[in-house]
Amino acid sequence: MPRVLVALASVGLRASSFTLATQRRQPNAFRRNMGALQSTAAPSVRHMRSLRTPSTRRRRDRVPSQAADEQELKGMIKSMAEDKTGEWIAANCLPDALFIRPSGNPFKAAEFVTFFGGDVEITEKALLKIQKLDVGADMAYATASESAKFTYKGTPNDDPSFTVSTVWKKVGGAWKLAHGHRSTATGNDMSSWDGCV
**pLDDT grade, residue 106 (50/70/90)?**
very high
Considering its fold, how many domains does the chain have in total?
2
Question: Mean pLDDT, the chain, as a whole number?
Answer: 77
Same domain, 140 and 120: yes
- The answer on 69 and 44 residing in a single domain is no
Residue 21 covered by a domain: yes
Q: Is residue 107 part of a domain?
A: yes
Which residue range(s) make up the domain with 165?
Answer: 65-193
For residue 197, the one-letter residue type is: V
With vertex at residue 62, the alpha carbon angle to CA 164 and CA 134, rounded to the nearest 5 degrees, is: 15
Say yes or no: 120 and 188 in one domain.
Answer: yes
130 and 175 share one domain: yes
Residue 70 pLDDT? 97
Is residue 185, in this structure, part of any structural domain at all? yes
Rounded to an integer, what distance in angstroms lies between the CA atom of residue 161 and that of residue 183? Answer: 9
Q: What is the pLDDT of residue 16?
A: 42
Pair 74, 161 in one domain:
yes
Nearest CA among 109, 147, 144, 143 for reference residue 125: 147
Are 43 and 76 contained in the same domain?
Answer: no
Give the pLDDT confidence score for residue 35 in this predicted structure. Answer: 55
Task: List, for residues 69-105, the tens digit of each pLDDT value.
Answer: 999 999 999 999 999 999 999 999 999 999 999 999 9
Q: Are residues 174 and 81 in the same domain?
A: yes
What is the average pLDDT across 134-140? 97
Is the pLDDT at 63 greater than 70? The verdict is no
User: What is the model's pTM?
Assistant: 0.66
Which amino acid belongs to residue 169? K
Judgement on whether residues 101 and 164 belong to the same structural domain of the protein = yes
Tell me the C-alpha distance between 84 and 89, whole Å: 10
Give the helix ranges, DSSP H, for the chain: 26-82, 87-91, 112-117
